[in-house]
Chain A
Amino acid sequence: MTLTILNAVLFSVVLLLAVGFYGLLITRNLIKIVVVLQTLVKAAIMALVLAGNTSGNPGLGQSAAATVLVADTVVAVVALALAVQVRRRAGTLDIARISTLRG
């Protein structure tokens, strides 16, 4: 496998995904969770652009990526708003410490 741009992008997609999922497994801080979620979405955006390029339809991939960017920002805003509320009510950002729902 030679190092082309495409391969480099593919590699970074996989890397970002790995980092993101690893982060989700170890992180308990709500802000960090939002950050790793963002990492995951960025990987998906890169994958979309990459897919558009390899299939010879770059416009489609890029416009999709732009839309994801918008949608994803909304999610991030909602997530951060929730985090703020959690901090305000519970005085902590540690999701494990506010967990009461189980069983």
Chain B
Amino acid sequence: MNPTLFPWMIAVPLGVSPLVYLVGRLGVGLNFRFRFAQALALLALLATWAVFALSLGQFTAQKAILPFGLEMIWLTADGLSFLLAAMVLGLGTFAVLFSGPYIAGEIGEEKYYAMLLAIMGIMIGLGCANDLFNLWVWFEAMAVSSYLLVAFYRERSASLEAGMKYLVQSAIGSVLVLLGISLVLGQFGTLDMDKIRALAATSAAGGLGLALAGALFIIGFGVKVAFVPLHTWLPDAHSQAPSGISAMLSGVVIEAGLVAMLRALSTLGGFSISWGVLLLVFGALNMFFGNFMALRQTQIKRMLAYSSLSHIGYILIGLGITLFNGEPAGAQGAAFHLFNHMLMKGLAFFAVGALMFALLDKNGIHRPLEIGDLAGAARKYPLAALTLSIALLALGGLPPLAGFMSKWQIFVAGFQGSNAWLMGLAIFAAFNSVLSLAYYAPLVNMLYRRKVSVVVEQGASIPVSMSIPLVALAAAIVAIGLWPALMNGLTEPAALAFLGMFGK
């Protein structure tokens, strides 16, 4: 009998987080050149990786959901949980590594790593929640930690503004989720998702109540996932946060919100087609809106934030297709794109962050990085420029990069079954992808100019610890672009879990 290992993926980061804070706090004022807090956080993540690998092995061998219960905490790990955990760990480790020089010397440096570690544990926990109310608690905990990280630059008014808007809108979302939970509880008298699922599937009555609960879940979690028109906080928050956090927010936090929404929706039963249609509509809206809003941005991080909206759109379309036709292809494509988006957007934010650090922060300039600032950056920063170009072109869906393959898989799903609407939607998505090149490409051109901008000329150098994540993520993007089957081990179970949840 093997012990159930996966809860340690949650417990280790959460447990070490206060220690990291303590170590960091004690280090303040001692002027150590070595950052103990960061090192401890990395060590904890290493341990979490080990647990992840072992429990993934366990899961693959058992081919089943691993249940775990402790007092009022109910956890199960299925394919979706492991996908989310892989994303969180993958990006989080690099974010901790990347943030070393970036965050050094800022006020509250010691809190940063502790918060980062905590939010990672929370997100992994969210992916494993098997109780509707537990799910909300994880979700709320994630929200609170992300408010603090968004408003990390307490002395900057734009950062406070973004944090405040994020907080208010998220709080409205979580109230709506609570109302939805109350409706479900009132109807079925339980919060266990499996029991609700079974009851909802058999109960004939209560259609309207469940519909209302579904609407509340979609909007409540949708705020966090940045469904258009609930997205208004996202461009502000993602552009104002420290770059390591922007990467986390864009690469995993909104996706964790999506996982939470899917878990909650899946319990309500009987509405699969309706949920599918709604996800498809929001997907189309998000793609369209995100692309057009990004088209005229001059601040790079804001442009990337809007591009997240459009990428959420592709993911929603993949999921919606599966709910619509019951084929796993769409969900697997969506899971694949979730993972790739984490890599691509993470890399983009890291690369922009590294450039921002070298060009502006290091010289004491605190303003957003504009596209024009990067003119000729490739001459002085060949690595950052190359990796940023790779990230952007991958986001635009060009081969041989990861984004091409996952978009392709979503399009495959759209064409399966030859439904005219879905085919039309896939073609619409493809045209959106073309449109997105209209804002990614000029930035790449800017990087490779011969004439160098003033900020680049005066820019400092990029430290090695910031370059490591860039190289690793870029290599992963190219590798997946050349060999898409690499990710099947994660995406296939995730798609099956998704289908299982919705009872298909």
Is there a contact between chains A and B in the complex with CB atoms less than 8 Å apart? yes
Residues of chain A touching chain B, judged by Cβ–Cβ distance below 8 Å, are: 17, 20, 24, 30, 33, 37, 40-41, 43-45, 47-48, 50-52, 54-57, 60-61, 63-64, 67-68, 71, 74-75, 78-79, 82-83, 85-86, 89-90, 95, 98-101, 103
CB pair A43–B186 under 8 Å, yes or no, is no
Determine the chain A residues whose CB is within 8 A of the CB of B185 once the complex forms: 48, 51-52, 55, 57, 60-61, 64
B58 within 8 A of A: no
CB pair A30–B164 under 8 Å, yes or no, is yes
CB pair A98–B160 under 8 Å, yes or no, is yes
Determine the chain B residues whose CB is within 8 A of the CB of A45 once the complex forms: 178
CB pair A44–B157 under 8 Å, yes or no, is no
B161 within 8 A of A: yes
CB pair B157–A86 under 8 Å, yes or no, is yes
CB pair A75–B171 under 8 Å, yes or no, is yes
Of the candidates A24, A33, A101, the one whose C-beta lies within 8 Å of that of B161 is A101
How many residues of chain B are within 8 Å of chain A by beta carbon?
44
Q: Give the distance to chain A from B169, nearest Cβ to Cβ, in Å.
A: 10
Closest B residue to A33 by CB, please name it.
B168
Determine the chain A residues whose CB is within 8 A of the CB of B184 once the complex forms: 51
B154 within 8 A of A: yes
Contact residues, B34-57 vs A (CB, 8 A):
none
Contact residues, B332-362 vs A (CB, 8 A):
none
Q: Complex formed: what's the CA distance from A47 to B147 in Å?
A: 26
Closest B residue to A37 by CB, please name it.
B171
Mask: chain B, 308-324; 1 = CB below 8 Å from A; 0 = not: 00000000000000000
A98-B168 contact in complex given A51-B185, A71-B137, A74-B144, C-beta closer than 8 Å: no
CB pair B178–A90 under 8 Å, yes or no, is no
CB pair A67–B133 under 8 Å, yes or no, is yes
CB pair B186–A82 under 8 Å, yes or no, is no
The residue among A44, A56, A67, A100 with the most chain B CB atoms within 10 A of its own CB is A44
Determine the chain A residues whose CB is within 8 A of the CB of B187 once the complex forms: 55
CB pair A85–B182 under 8 Å, yes or no, is no
B373 within 8 A of A: no
Closest B residue to A68 by CB, please name it.
B178
> What secondary structure prevails in chain B residues at the interface with A?
helix
CB pair A41–B175 under 8 Å, yes or no, is yes
Q: Give the distance to chain B from A18, nearest Cβ to Cβ, in Å.
A: 13
CB pair A60–B190 under 8 Å, yes or no, is yes
Q: Sample 5 A-B pairs with CB under 8 A, ordered by A number.
A: A20-B175, A47-B179, A47-B182, A60-B191, A71-B144
Of the candidates B156, B168, B191, the one whose C-beta lies within 8 Å of that of A64 is B191
Of the candidates A33, A98, A103, the one whose C-beta lies within 8 Å of that of B157 is A98
Determine the chain A residues whose CB is within 8 A of the CB of B154 once the complex forms: 85
CB pair B189–A64 under 8 Å, yes or no, is no
Closest A residue to B166 by CB, please name it.
A82
Q: Give the distance to chain A from B237, nearest Cβ to Cβ, in Å.
A: 9
Q: Which 10 A-B pairs have the closest CB atoms?
A: A55-B189, A51-B186, A44-B178, A47-B182, A51-B182, A51-B185, A101-B236, A57-B189, A40-B175, A71-B140
Of the candidates B157, B168, B178, B236, the one whose C-beta lies within 8 Å of that of A89 is B157
Determine the chain A residues whose CB is within 8 A of the CB of B277 once the complex forms: none
CB pair A67–B137 under 8 Å, yes or no, is yes
B158 within 8 A of A: yes
Determine the chain B residues whose CB is within 8 A of the CB of A100 once the complex forms: 157-158, 161
Closest A residue to B161 by CB, please name it.
A98
Q: Give the distance to chain B from A83, nearest Cβ to Cβ, in Å.
A: 8
CB pair B182–A44 under 8 Å, yes or no, is yes
Q: Give the distance to chain A from B355, nearest Cβ to Cβ, in Å.
A: 21
Q: Give the distance to chain B from A42, nearest Cβ to Cβ, in Å.
A: 10
B163 within 8 A of A: yes
